[in-house]
Structure 1
Amino acid sequence: MSIPKTYQPAEVEEKWYQRWQEQGFFNSKPNPRKPAYSVVIPPPNVTGVLHMGHMLNNTIQDVLVRRARMQGKEACWVPGTDHASIATEAKVVQMLKERGIEKKDLSREEFLKYAWEWKEKYGGIILEQLKKLGASCDWSRTRFTMEPDLTEAVLRVFVDLYRKGLIYRGIRMVNWDPQGRTALSDEEVIPKDTVAKMYHLRYEIVEPRTQNPVLRSENLEAEGENQNDSEFSVLNSKFLTVATSRPETIMADVAVAVNPNDERYRHLHGAKVRIPLLGREIPIILDEYVAIDFGTGALKVTPAHDLNDYELGLKHNLPVIDILSDDGTLNEKAVLYVGQDRFAARRNIVKDLGEAGLLDKVEEYQSVLQTSERTGAVIEPRLSLQWFLKMADMAGPALEVVEDDRVKLHPPKFKNMYRVWMENVRDWCISRQLWWGQRIPAYYLPDGTFVVALNEEEALQLAREQSGNNDLQVSDLRQDEDVLDTWFSSWLWPISVFDGFKDPDNPEVNYYYPTDDLVTAPEILFFWVARMIMAGLEYRKDVPFRNVYLTGIVRDAQGRKMSKSLGNSPDPLDLIAQYGADGVRTGMLFSSPAGNDLLFDIKLVEQGRNFTNKLWNAFRLTQGWEVNDELAFVNERATEWFQAKLQSTLAELDEHFAKFRMSDALMTIYKLVWDDFCSVYLEMIKPAYQAPIDAETLRRTTGFFEQLLKLLHPFMPFITEEIWHHLAERGAKDYLCVAAWPKQQPVEGGAELLARMDRALDVVAGVRNIRNQKGLGPNKPLTLAAKTDDTGLLQDYDGIIRKLAALAEINVVDAAPAAAVGFVSGGAEFFVPMEGQIDLEAERERLTKELEYAQGFRESVLKKLANEKFVNNAKPDLVERERQKLADAEAKIAALEQSMAAL
């Protein structure tokens, strides 16, 4: 088999991925002779395409799965996609608009036909892209959260939880997405810092309870010492100033609240005010909830559009006026600006308030805007009739299993975040006002009551029993229009992908569940990870996974999250085409510690590509050597050392994997390959130009190379498989993909071997430094004189030191030879005679000039430090800097004087 001069990733990657699939290496089925290792993919949305976050997450999963497969485990990585109700419905609506079709003109069945058409065309794109990355998923197991079996599982769980009293229907304040026209859970709301405006509006005061004498201006003048300016402006006004950031909601006001202890408003207790422009009278109520020192101390109460206002409304038995339609436009209850978008209405009402003299002032302030995770729309708090799942009882056990490490979070710092969430859990709003998704299995009778059932037939039976009317027909029942939150299907993912709801005792779920490792992002720790734990404990009485590896966010060099809108995110497929999948995978992992964000730099990917080239060149070097079977084995020291180094690295590597330090694991192998194998070991054993190598050295070297390929394979699957098949003739099933992971085989006396080789290599480094300092070529023969008691080191490693340092000879001496440059290593002194190597007079002249300059510099610093005015008045750190300059100068002078003495 010919070996190309350069590595060509594109040709290699397509070839080996196809062969791995043809051989069925990624496929898995229960095998009682093997321990199971299972991972479920965090299902990407069917709307998604591969981005940098996917690259990082799926590379880490693939590393774990490939290593487990090589360890002899029955590795099963289940792929799949999420139906993503909100995002997908938005895509389908957009597609329909492009065809001139409006959703409102379609029936539900017609719309779903288009939605499935879109899903079949675009829904699998991201999974195909993952193959380009090298993801070794069992593609025969690909699942979709809305496929029939998984939909049935979702409905069964809904019915079960409803009958257990954990699911209920009620009117609650929810997060409303006007663009998606649906409710959202708290976890689907993304806060964004912004500069907002606070509008100070004037509400006319009517019907004061008593006539307070201080309202008379003459009394205020007489008692001026008791009344400050701010009190005068409040008490003497016919208006009450109320600050709000949302003036478009004043038409939904039902009261203005003040603190009963606020002296400024004591005279208004029992009074009313008129809503600006609208003129409707509303009461002034008293509640200590209102902060006296915030804004004007007067709070407009709008129960339909603010959670805190809603609680105030319940407390004071206030009416609720909802002025917003589903799409964020003002409805007829607003009276004014009906049909206008909420933000257009805001602009118009501010203009009209100003013209009417009812706008006191406008201030800017730092605020947080709540936005929809899926559409980006600004969220509206809104009272809505929705379905909810009680979470408190399920949260307790889910917190306990994380606290006692039955589920380990990596890194463990996320335990605190998890604890805070779980201890403050709120009921989950699980209904969504969409058509794409699992439809809620609630069926309404003609009298408005409902039953919850798995299907229409079961619903009809329950409806007849509930109503006592046996004449009821399916056509008399109306199924709930809403669908379930997408997360209500994905929280069942580790069970449902193994059909654990369809058949709770089937061999698949019993073998693969609980899964081993989950790799995901911290931002979904609660609303996916925690909920999967809850579902697992509820329906399998066991956790869904043992470890959760939490990746960071991929950011650009400026620390910004990568996004298409910012234009700071490269296309992953373009990166793979340019640098190869192995280069991209390693580049992503070079600086991706668990839980910490990755500052992406294209140089990391370049470094990954350079690593593939280094590996390829090392392979070509060893394959280019001619073998002479008659030559004696002369590299025992080198091969013993590298074997000890390899075993030492294996122990370190296993520890990194055990603690999910993926970046550290890669760097450990990287240094072993680049530094120890390529830069040192191969140089030790490399034969002279056009000279042959002995067979034993090459045999051992090839064995080392195979071990290194095994360690690298989970990180760099393509190039390692390519080299594996070049190294030797392989059988039909002899692929690196399924080769055995190296096991630790400690080398007797390995620590001593490593320590002594380190000393020998330190001597080599000392000689090389002298070559660099003196401008001597790397191959110019030199002599090394050693003043040492450890002559055994020089005897044992004579050949290695002489070869790597390009030395003609090594001599043991009692004293430093004349005209030599020296260094210290391991307590011993070493000298390289310079006579004949350099022009001694020129060297003395150069050193003299350097010495004179250094001495002059020292004198200038001494003068500065002798100046009391400078020392006493300058900043302490400036004085300390001068003292450090003096110390550095004196050290340099001492070194130069020593070098001159040696000459």
Structure 2
Amino acid sequence: MTDQTDEQIPAQTAAELDQTLAQGLAKTFDPAAIEAKWYAHWESEGRFRPERPDAEPFTIVNPPPNVTGSLHIGHALDNTLQDVVIRHERLKGKDALWVVGTDHAGIATQMVVERQLEAAQDKRTNYTREAFIDKVWEWKAESGGTITRQLRRLGCSMDWSREQFTMDPHFTKAVVKVFVDLYNQGLIYRDKRLVNWDPRLKTAISDLEVETREVQGGFWHFKYPLADGVTRADGLDYIEVATTRPETMLADMLVAVNADDPRYQSVIGAFIDQPITGRRLRIVADEHADPELGSGAVKITPGHDFNDFEVGKRAGIKASDMLNMFDAEANVVQTADGLVPDKYLGQERFTVRSWIVADMKAAGFLIPHVTKDKEGNPVEHDAEPRTIQTPFGDRGGVVIEPWLTDQWYVNAAELAQAPMEAVRSGAIEIVPKTWEKTFFNWMENIQPWCVSRQLWWGHRIPAWYAEDGSIYVAETEDAAQALAGNKPLTRDNDVLDTWFSSALWPFATLGWPEDTAEALPRSGEGASLLQKHYPNDLLVSGFDILFFWDARMAMQGIHFMKEVPWKRLYLHGLVRAADGQKMSKSKGNVVDPLGLIDQYGADALRFFMCAMESQGRDVKMDERRVEGYRNFATKLWNAARFCQSNGITGSTTLAAPAATSAVNKWIVGEVVETQIALDKAMADLRFDAAAGAIYRFVWDTFCDWYIELVKGNFDAETRAVAGWVLDQILVMLHPFMPFVTEELWHALSDPAHPREQDLIVARWPEPQASVDPAAKAEVEWLIALVSALRGAKNELGIAPGARLEAWLPEPSDQTRAIIAANPAVIERLARLTAIHFAPAPSGAAMQVGAGDANLIVPLDGVIDIAAEKARLEKALAASQKETKALEGRLNNASFVERAKPEAVEKARADHAHHSAEATRLAAALARLG
């Protein structure tokens, strides 16, 4: 037997298969009953990476989720798209490898374990570093597999036999080697710069771990008095500055004005005596000061503001000389010049803020914000109220401080050059291409990458310090000691940013540095995993980690492997709430994908994700659509049951069976066209187009038309063709809906020739057939006739089952032949008892089109023409009136601008509905003549 598979792999046990075949398909499609069964079967039998040593490789790596994570809706989208691709490539016979693993998630994991200790009235500092890390490994062993179990529920066909973890010994070895090599190449260095500092966690964090929240705060205006009796050209002896963070004036070092601002040109180079500290501040000209904003003057605190840091550097202040006024917990400390008054020392930052305002006000340096009361009298306030975009740590939950500290940095600007050239040359294709502009804009302006974190959990930085301040970087302590000439050394306490280690994911997961990708070919006998599967073929990623992960993988991959990490980068959007808002716990609009799987099945959720994934757009969550795709699976299930009840079983050939009837020739051609559309969509990474193509074929072409057209005529040819088409449906639909298709694949197996392989390792369709134009034209004519008649009956209130006659005065030869060849179908589906090739009788009639034919169906005696006209005219007038009213409302700018968005959206939807209804009713009236 030739099955649609290329491997002899046992499927279910013989007993299980016999039981399935004996029972036939259950009456009701129940996703839960089949999902766990098939996933366990696939995984235990090694179906996710069948042995294909000589096959063409295809490789993707998953963005490793945090080991602390749980499946959220973004994971569901990201991993569904990857699984669709990998299942498609596996079906095409490739050695398809989907690398899977988890990220050690330094901050998140350490926090989880620390919280467990706190719950037991314990804390991290009660342990040595080594003892605490042992506790983290204990947690990982017990609780760190939640998200990987949940990925299985989604149906992700990852190679779990090679599951990776970024703290595995082999991966750690790769991370350490990369750090040491980059250091020796001058691309990693230690520097004092501003970082995002989390005062609760007491560590630097990345931009991605900073979330901006709107906070109601104040904008305070102060007088900074000019020193040495200097006055401005307008006679004022002070400069007005404004700030949302008054506490930072304890570390002010400059005041900046714009060189083109006439108010301040005379005092550039002069000095300010800062009122609280008495520190003398130079007035400098800098473009950062915008004459159009506020007073046009800006106080500069280079040690505590990212913009100010750059102004300070331009003014010639070295980072080592910039003043720091905070400790690691954001409490005030003495600055290097000793000018912070003692009363503020050791105090919490926001307490100091209120004290500074009070002290400036008492000294007469606060400029009040003035409003008017109801009577028009002036009212003074200390600050102008402002909604301030404030950075918070997404883990620590406290306000982030820009903090000047010594950290390790990667020279990202140099490493960024090769990835930019790879994108320009096409070695890396970014899909959608519109993201290229964003990529280049960020890469061309890239800043040094801070890669050190003040944590215990993670890859410890391989750097050792001597008492004289010398730094020794090596892969082991012994190697560092040898470099130091046996001087006493102390190891750096910091660990590496998790993004640093995950940047090695495309090659460290494949065996680097033990293996290299140079000696052997990418396929064939003896090729290592790395040689065969690097570079990866595709990376699927959310656009939000384009720079944090994707760009950095490109940097490290090209630098260490001398080749791009992947040939294509697909960036998908976010999954948003139904109203388009970003999902967040605070808004209460987060959707749990596991809940959707429980309710509708994994197949339905997966298909929804694909159908809604349109390049460059976010996905709007719509549970009704998920339910609709569960109904789609049910429709296929019922069609399969119907076929099974009529003796139709799975096919035994890859090639299409011989077909003589027009309807069978047509359906074979439709399979050919669907496969071509699917392959093109998948090649273009148009998941929505791919899902749409198979959906239309299954629902419309096969279920709604083919089965109807052949019903009651299941001869041997039709059974063979129908069984073959069902097989092609299951194979083409499998990447999107793996569970229901695998179940049907086995349930439809021919008892005389049981399937010896699973659908997951079957072969992609090879119909070895073409479209028959004549058969296509004939069947499409019949479909058009039936559709037009059903629509016309519905419009005119005629019962669907009413049998009518039609007249066609001058049919073309083709139309005459089609009608002659299909009398039974025309009578059964179109409910036409006869089509007369003669002029129609006079009187009211409706006209329906099919191909080049315009059939006339008399209505005398079928309906009350006058009553039907009156009904339609009344309904038309009502729809036109409603359409006009809604049109007026939508053309009213005041309504569109002031009404709630959902009200505007409803008005637009109602307008579209009534407008379409008016068009339909007008057409119905026209049919009556």
Is 1:834 paired with 2:859? yes
Give a deviation string over 1:847-884, Cα, whole Å, max 9, x none. Answer: 368679999999xxxxxxxxxxxxxxxxxxxxxxxxxx
Q: 1-side partners of 2:794 and 2:875: how far apart?
A: 22
Q: Are the counterparts in 1 of residues 223 and 365 from structure 2 also a CA contact under 8 Å?
A: yes
Q: 2-side partners of 1:735 and 1:718: how far apart?
A: 11
Gap regions ≥5 residues in structure 1: 215-230, 465-469, 859-884
Written as runs of structure 1 = structure 2, the 5 A alignment for 1:143-182 is 143-182=164-203
Deviation, 1:160, is 0.8
Q: 2-side partners of 1:846 and 1:450: how far apart?
A: 93
| Counterpart for residue 477 of structure 1 | 489
Q: 2-side partners of 1:57 and 1:852: how far apart?
A: 51
More moved, 698-707 vs 311-320: 311-320
The residue type equivalent to 2:497 in the other structure is D
The residue type equivalent to 2:682 in the other structure is F
Aligned sequence identity (%) = 39
Q: Are the counterparts in 2 of residues 208 and 272 from structure 1 also a CA contact under 8 Å?
A: no
| Counterpart for residue 304 of structure 2 | 305
Deviation, 1:270, is 6.3
| Counterpart for residue 106 of structure 1 | 127
Written as runs of structure 1 = structure 2, the 5 A alignment for 1:360-759 is 360-361=367-368, 362-365=383-386, 368-372=389-393, 374-464=395-485, 472=487, 476-505=488-517, 507-625=528-646, 636-687=661-712, 693-728=714-749, 729=751, 731=754, 733-743=756-766, 745-748=768-771, 750-759=772-781
CA pair 413-619 structure 1, distance change in 2 beyond 3 A: same
Q: 2-side partners of 1:461 and 1:201: how far apart?
A: 58
| Counterpart for residue 811 of structure 1 | 836
Deviation, 1:481, is 1.0
More moved, 888-897 vs 808-817: 888-897
More moved, 735-744 vs 769-778: 769-778
Q: Are the counterparts in 2 of residues 159 and 453 from structure 1 also a CA contact under 8 Å?
A: yes
Q: Are the counterparts in 1 of residues 49 and 95 from structure 2 also a CA contact under 8 Å?
A: no
Q: 2-side partners of 1:774 and 1:850: how far apart?
A: 8
Q: What SS does structure 1 have at the residue aligned with 2:344?
A: coil
Deviation, 1:186, is 4.6
Q: What SS does structure 2 have at the residue aligned with 1:590?
A: helix
Q: Are the counterparts in 1 of residues 274 and 281 from structure 2 also a CA contact under 8 Å?
A: no
More moved, 727-736 vs 415-424: 727-736
CA pair 423-722 structure 1, distance change in 2 beyond 3 A: same
Is 1:117 paired with 2:138? yes
| Counterpart for residue 320 of structure 1 | 322
| Counterpart for residue 821 of structure 1 | 846
Is 1:19 paired with 2:41? yes
TM-score between both structures, scaled by the size of structure 1: 0.86
Is 1:282 paired with 2:271? no
Q: 2-side partners of 1:138 and 1:380: how far apart?
A: 42
Q: Are the counterparts in 2 of residues 272 and 281 from structure 1 also a CA contact under 8 Å?
A: no
The residue type equivalent to 2:187 in the other structure is L
Q: Are the counterparts in 2 of residues 403 and 415 from structure 1 also a CA contact under 8 Å?
A: no
The residue type equivalent to 2:696 in the other structure is K
| Counterpart for residue 8 of structure 2 | none
Is 1:346 paired with 2:353? yes
Q: Are the counterparts in 2 of residues 202 and 358 from structure 1 also a CA contact under 8 Å?
A: yes
Q: 2-side partners of 1:586 and 1:890: how far apart?
A: 33
| Counterpart for residue 53 of structure 1 | 74
Q: 1-side partners of 2:78 and 2:254: how far apart?
A: 51
Aligned length: 830
Deviation, 1:438, is 0.6
Q: 1-side partners of 2:784 and 2:152: how far apart?
A: 45
Q: 2-side partners of 1:37 and 1:627: how far apart?
A: 35
Q: Are the counterparts in 2 of residues 256 and 282 from structure 1 also a CA contact under 8 Å?
A: no
Deviation, 1:795, is 2.1
Q: What SS does structure 2 have at the residue aligned with 1:100?
A: coil
Q: Are the counterparts in 2 of residues 200 and 243 from structure 1 also a CA contact under 8 Å?
A: yes
CA pair 179-744 structure 1, distance change in 2 beyond 3 A: farther
Q: 2-side partners of 1:856 and 1:457: how far apart?
A: 89
| Counterpart for residue 869 of structure 1 | none
More moved, 113-122 vs 827-836: 827-836
Q: 1-side partners of 2:605 and 2:918: how far apart?
A: 46
Written as runs of structure 1 = structure 2, the 5 A alignment for 1:876-887 is none
Q: What SS does structure 2 have at the residue aligned with 1:813?
A: coil
| Counterpart for residue 899 of structure 1 | 928
| Counterpart for residue 222 of structure 1 | none
Give a deviation string over 1:807-847, Cα, whole Å, max 9, x none. Answer: 22222114456554323333422122334534xxx323543
| Counterpart for residue 825 of structure 2 | 800
Q: What SS does structure 2 have at the residue aligned with 1:45?
A: coil
Q: 1-side partners of 2:661 and 2:200: how far apart?
A: 73
Q: What SS does structure 2 have at the residue aligned with 1:303?
A: coil
Q: Are the counterparts in 2 of residues 816 and 831 from structure 1 also a CA contact under 8 Å?
A: no
The residue type equivalent to 1:678 in the other structure is C
More moved, 339-348 vs 254-263: 254-263
Q: 2-side partners of 1:260 and 1:720: how far apart?
A: 71
CA pair 22-731 structure 1, distance change in 2 beyond 3 A: farther
CA pair 837-458 structure 1, distance change in 2 beyond 3 A: same
| Counterpart for residue 868 of structure 1 | none
Q: 1-side partners of 2:158 and 2:879: how far apart?
A: 66
Q: Are the counterparts in 1 of residues 648 and 723 from structure 2 also a CA contact under 8 Å?
A: no
Q: What SS does structure 2 have at the residue aligned with 1:693?
A: coil
Q: What SS does structure 2 have at the residue aligned with 1:617?
A: helix
CA pair 236-173 structure 1, distance change in 2 beyond 3 A: closer
| Counterpart for residue 5 of structure 1 | 27
Q: Are the counterparts in 2 of residues 851 and 897 from structure 1 also a CA contact under 8 Å?
A: no
Query: Max radius of gyration: which structure?
Result: 1
Q: Are the counterparts in 2 of residues 304 and 310 from structure 1 also a CA contact under 8 Å?
A: yes
Q: What SS does structure 1 have at the residue aligned with 2:586?
A: coil
Give a deviation string over 1:137-173, Cα, whole Å, max 9, x none. Answer: 1111100001111001000011111111111112122
More moved, 33-42 vs 280-289: 280-289
Deviation, 1:367, is 5.0
The residue type equivalent to 2:838 in the other structure is V
Q: 2-side partners of 1:271 and 1:415: how far apart?
A: 46
Gap regions ≥5 residues in structure 2: 1-21, 369-382, 518-526, 650-657, 881-913
Q: 1-side partners of 2:759 and 2:924: how far apart?
A: 54
CA pair 387-10 structure 1, distance change in 2 beyond 3 A: same
Q: Are the counterparts in 1 of residues 242 and 298 from structure 2 also a CA contact under 8 Å?
A: yes
Q: 2-side partners of 1:436 and 1:855: how far apart?
A: 72
Match of 1:775 among 794, 797, 818: 797
Q: 1-side partners of 2:394 and 2:820: how far apart?
A: 69
Deviation, 1:371, is 4.0
The residue type equivalent to 2:284 in the other structure is L
Q: 1-side partners of 2:845 and 2:755: how far apart?
A: 61
| Counterpart for residue 256 of structure 1 | 255
Q: What SS does structure 2 have at the residue aligned with 1:116?
A: helix
Higher relative contact order (CA 8 A, sep 6+): 2
Q: Are the counterparts in 1 of residues 182 and 188 from structure 2 also a CA contact under 8 Å?
A: yes
More moved, 405-414 vs 356-365: 356-365
More moved, 596-605 vs 366-375: 366-375
Deviation, 1:492, is 0.6
CA pair 526-896 structure 1, distance change in 2 beyond 3 A: closer
Q: Are the counterparts in 2 of residues 627 and 695 from structure 1 also a CA contact under 8 Å?
A: no
Q: Are the counterparts in 2 of residues 710 and 742 from structure 1 also a CA contact under 8 Å?
A: yes
Q: Are the counterparts in 1 of residues 709 and 825 from structure 2 also a CA contact under 8 Å?
A: yes
CA pair 503-850 structure 1, distance change in 2 beyond 3 A: closer
